[in-house]
């Protein structure tokens, strides 16, 4: 009998994780990683938020409960807290919002893609150009029959949002029920966000064209230190969907893929929530059962430990206040490193306008460095960033900022 084996060509390795492995193997004493999407303190080390430490101390008195299964839909306490954080107290009480705990923001994006590809059946999904690379992978896996289209998001010329290009593409090439991916704040990888006026215009277009939006919300509170400000776009779109309710006015709805990895430093605990918002004439009962079916097949039950941390922090006024202080600590350090990097580049005479580094927001900066310049930084100076020129601000410290700025200046000026 002949035994048949799968004969599959190997896929290309993930660029970011491949570069991280190369960095780990690099023995140069001045090596610097500007790759990872994870907060680091000024010593370049992982930082456990004090509110998280205190939360773990509180529920560690009953450790056995941390190892029991959650229901398929997750922790009700976490879901209620996450819903209130995302939509605000008033909108969160709506009966037209369905939420389920997921395996971080990636899991929320994946369940949303599978659900919409199967039941909404969009012809196209529109992704920002550029965007988080996993958006494309998720839709290729969960919605292989949905055509992926890119809409202009970033203009290298102005180093800001290409709003005219974005609006023109969505206006002229989208169809009813098509899906649009939007990032709620601290856009990855560019670090540039829409203004509130621009968000209002996008919301009006989405509703008029009857498009379905997925908000990827990975940085609420982490971006600016203000959880209310960072949720503004999601709340506006939700309120806009509910306004003038009726079959001729409403779009099909929206999803929010929410992650607690960044804003609570719970990268390994994989805590996320997926929210589905629909108009008043659509029942959520069927959607709830479909979400549960997808979750059951993919991972059965979401993680409990991280969920317990989040619900403890958000549910206790004292810990909630500490969390706000922790958000201020992280966002302030990032803003400070942005200011220093810009100033150092200008001091070292780096050619070009580097004001964009300070005007951008969040964890990442789109530097404008070319692939060749990025390769030279890696090969000659042992400084690692993505080929796109995306730089993680969190990798900068008081100890390496001069070396990084001088190295970038040397490469750019050559």
Task: Point out the residues that are catalytic.
Answer: 132, 216, 262
Q: Which two tokens stand for residue 135?
A: 């958006």
Tell me which residue of 175, 183, 186, 236 sits closest to 208, measured CA to CA. Answer: 175
The string of DSSP codes covering 102-133 is EEHHHHHHHHHHHHHHHHT--SEEEEEES--H
Tokens of 259: 């992650």
Nearest to 234 by CA among 132, 363, 103, 87: 87
Contacts of 323 (CB under 8 A, 6+ apart): 49, 51, 221, 264, 313, 314
| 191: its two tokens | 């670090």
Rounded alpha-carbon distances, angstroms, from residue 204 to 24, 126, 195, 249, 367: 47, 17, 14, 11, 32
Q: Which residues pair with 127 in a beta bridge?
A: 150
How far is the C-alpha of 360 from the C-alpha of 390, rounded, in Å?
12
C-beta of residue 178 within 8 angstroms of C-beta of residue 126? yes
Taking the CA atoms of the chain, what radius of gyration do you get in angstroms? Answer: 22
> Would you say 128 and 150 are in contact if contact means Cβ atoms under 8 Å apart?
yes
Does the N-terminal peptide bond of residue 244 adopt cis geometry, omega within 30 degrees of 0? no
Alpha-carbon gap, residue 211 to 228, rounded angstroms? 25
Site of tokens 């023109």: 168
- The 10 Å Cβ neighbour count of residue 58 is 14
Q: How far is CA 402 from the centre of its chain?
A: 29
């Amino acid at each position: 009998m002949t035994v048949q084996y799968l004969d599959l060509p190997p896929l290309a390795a993930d660029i970011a994780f491949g570069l991280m492995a190369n960095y780990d193997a690099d023995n140069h004493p001045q090596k610097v990683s500007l790759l990872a999407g994870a907060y680091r303190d000024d010593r370049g080390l992982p930082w456990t938020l004090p509110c998280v430490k205190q939360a773990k101390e509180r529920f560690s008195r009953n450790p056995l409960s941390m190892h029991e299964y959650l229901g398929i839909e997750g922790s009700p306490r976490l879901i209620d807290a996450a819903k209130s954080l995302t939509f605000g107290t008033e909108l969160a009480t709506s009966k037209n919002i369905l939420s389920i705990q997921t395996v971080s923001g990636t899991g929320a994006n994946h369940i949303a893609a599978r659900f919409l590809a199967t039941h909404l059946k969009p012809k196209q999904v529109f992704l920002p150009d550029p965007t988080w690379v996993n958006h494309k992978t998720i839709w290729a896996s969960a919605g292989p029959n949905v055509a992926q289209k890119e809409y202009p998001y970033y203009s290298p010329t102005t180093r800001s949002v290409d709003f005219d290009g974005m609006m023109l593409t969505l206006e002229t090439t989208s169809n009813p029920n098509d899906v649009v991916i939007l990032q709620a704040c601290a856009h990855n990888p560019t670090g540039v966000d829409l203004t509130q006026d621009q968000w209002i215009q996008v919301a009006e277009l989405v509703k008029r064209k009857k498009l379905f939006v997925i908000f990827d919300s990975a940085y609420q509170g982490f971006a600016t230190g203000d959880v209310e400000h960072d949720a503004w776009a999601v709340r506006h779109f939700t309120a806009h969907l509910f306004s003038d309710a009726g079959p001729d006015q409403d779009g099909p709805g929206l999803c929010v893929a929410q992650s607690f990895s960044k804003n609570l430093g719970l990268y390994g605990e994989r805590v996320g929530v997926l929210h589905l918002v629909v108009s008043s004439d659509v029942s959520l009962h069927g959607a709830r059962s479909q979400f549960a079916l997808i979750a059951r097949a993919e991972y059965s039950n979401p993680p409990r430990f991280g969920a317990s941390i989040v619900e403890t922090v958000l549910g206790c006024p004292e810990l909630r206040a500490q969390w706000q202080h922790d958000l201020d600590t992280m966002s302030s350090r990032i803003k400070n490193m942005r200011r220093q990097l810009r100033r150092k580049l200008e001091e070292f005479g780096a050619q070009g306008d580097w004001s964009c580094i300070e005007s951008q927001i969040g964890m990442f900066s789109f530097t404008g460095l070319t692939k060749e310049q990025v390769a030279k930084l890696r090969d000659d100076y042992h400084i690692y960033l993505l080929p796109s020129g995306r730089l993680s601000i969190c990798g900068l410290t008081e100890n390496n900022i001069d070396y990084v700025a001088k190295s970038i200046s040397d490469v750019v000026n050559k």
